[in-house]
Structure 1
């Protein structure tokens, strides 16, 4: 049989096998083996008729597959006669567990769409934005605590209380002895929030409600016929955290001095107020005080000695004095080398000399 005829018969046999749709896998495999044998015989016969005794290499296109591909009859392809493997059906418990896992993942993605790093970046951006909105464009104001004697004379200007937005200023009313003076009534004007601590209190809290609020407050004190007025001014550089207003009169709760010193109440005495605030009068000389602690100081100004102490002066007599809410006293007396003070009932002797004189 000629070579071309054998190849044609082999090809027809393979085509018949593939198109017959035989259900038996064993038959299909046997026929494929037979087809492969026929093709090999045809190839051998072809080699025998080639010139040169078959030494010429076979064309790559005529090579037969070997190995796993040989059983399928095609290289790298799926055998059409192989039945697809059926997936194992899932149990109801597995189906329910799969549904729960998918629902949980969807809930996590919906509620928390961002990862922790993205959340930190978002919070930092929100913090920067909030800081840019809330921090004022101007520096924070400085805080001052002021003690000032209020003049009740006609024509005198009311004291000015500097307040600031976002800050509370406490106004306290004291008499000349440093004791609280109860407030009977008050009224105010301007865009402020003014709160009294209650009936019989001597303290007022003031807060401005706008950046440029301006107004005043009028206070009626117990047993004082003259109202006391203050000017309220909103500032940005320095504000009063506490303003102690000292009235140059004896209040309802004034302390009776142990010894009468010929006290004269002078409204707006700048030297007494300055010494009470801890500021030495201009042109004064600081004296050396021995026998008491550092809370007691003395200044010599002209023919007068100003003694600043939290203790009570017993001797000598003084011409004028003033006290603050924290119990500090200032006495104006003639130059005296020795003074007697009362420290909670104990008599203390203190000497006042010029600086350097005690070391000689």
Structure 2
């Protein structure tokens, strides 16, 4: 496509009374006088041919005797707005590319920051792992606080932490919450629940293999605010009182102390009370991810291995094979992993 440079825009000026119109000739060829301008009210347009003359530009009338210059208006097919006060090339360049490189980068950066601010939640989310104990005989309905636009995994285990397959999962209002399987297996202990709308509420009914009583769960969009963050569940473990069908008999008895059980459940998922002191572990079995704490004068251990000695006071197990133990204070423990017994040392600091 060709580029055509047009003449500068016409500038209209009316000659004031008592003032000669520039570039105009009085009748008879003499120079225009103030008297002539005052009597005929001449209107002068710069850049527009006057009667019987050539176009008169502002630059030409400023220089007496200057001849009209070629403006290139004869070039066919073009219409580009020029920038007054600049040479022809710079004028076209400024009209077509008004922004410099740094200005474009700064503009794009401001657009990105604006888009990021528009996509950020009004209140930041704090995702947590929640362990809920359920007794089917009591009919208690636990509440799960979720966040709109976020998903939460829900896993069902028995009293010993062994997976309990879910047969069906039905949500009350499918337009507010969505439930889907996390695997392609027909029966799985884990499902995914998504919150589709803010300020939504509904319920979820779970039927478990071998359990005739459905497990009800209350779903709520939005959670409590803590330290400027909205606390919502990203992962929920439902510990149902009983034993899953086909599960192996437990090799230990869970702690009867409710407070110890809650702390052990925290240890299973890598969180401990603030009063717990972290201890250093050495020579642990490979890939056992063994950790140790000192709490209330007892030794607390979280590991994927099995504790053989010394004897423990209380223990819990998660669905993914993690063990949490409470035992008397000791500087060494015997762990078994992948058929191998390993002596693991526990150090302060």
Pairwise TM-score range, normalised by the shorter structure: 0.5 to 0.7
Other-structure match for 2:238: 245
* Structure 2 spans left out of the alignment, 5+ residues: 1-76, 79-95, 224-229
RMSD in angstroms over aligned alpha carbons? 4.3
Of 262, 265, 275, the residue aligned with 2:267 is: 275
Deviation at 1:256, TM superposition (A): 5.1
Compared CA separation, residues 163 and 262, structure 1 to 2 (3 A)? closer
Other-structure match for 2:17: none
Which of the two has greater helix per residue? 1
Which of the two has greater strand per residue? 2
Q: Could you tell me whether the CA contact under 8 Å between 1:152 and 1:226 is conserved in 2?
A: no
Q: 1:303-349 CA distances to partner (integer Å, 9 max, x unpaired)?
A: 64322112111233334322234432102334444421112111111
- Structure 2 residue 223 is matched with structure 1 residue 230: no
- Structure 2 residue 302 is matched with structure 1 residue 308: yes
Compared CA separation, residues 174 and 267, structure 1 to 2 (3 A)? farther
Other-structure match for 2:180: 195
* Structure 1 spans left out of the alignment, 5+ residues: 1-101, 106-114
Question: How many pairs are equivalent?
Answer: 242
Return the alpha-carbon distance in structure 2 between the equivalents of residues 209 and 185 of structure 1. Answer: 20
- Structure 2 residue 151 is matched with structure 1 residue 168: yes
Q: 1:241-293 CA distances to partner (integer Å, 9 max, x unpaired)?
A: 32233335432354556xx4444577782111222233333544444544327
Other-structure match for 1:182: 165
- What is the TM-score normalised by the length of structure 2? 0.54
Return the alpha-carbon distance in structure 2 between the equivalents of residues 279 and 270 of structure 1. Answer: 11
Deviation at 1:183, TM superposition (A): 0.5
Other-structure match for 2:125: 141
- What is the TM-score normalised by the length of structure 1? 0.53
Q: 1:85-111 CA distances to partner (integer Å, 9 max, x unpaired)?
A: xxxxxxxxxxxxxxxxx9xx9xxxxxx
State which structure, 1 or 2, has the greater radius of gyration over its C-alpha atoms.
1
Return the alpha-carbon distance in structure 2 between the equivalents of residues 288 and 136 of structure 1. Answer: 39
Compared CA separation, residues 346 and 116, structure 1 to 2 (3 A)? farther
Partner-residue secondary structure (3-state), 2:134: coil
Q: Could you tell me whether the CA contact under 8 Å between 1:275 and 1:308 is conserved in 2?
A: yes
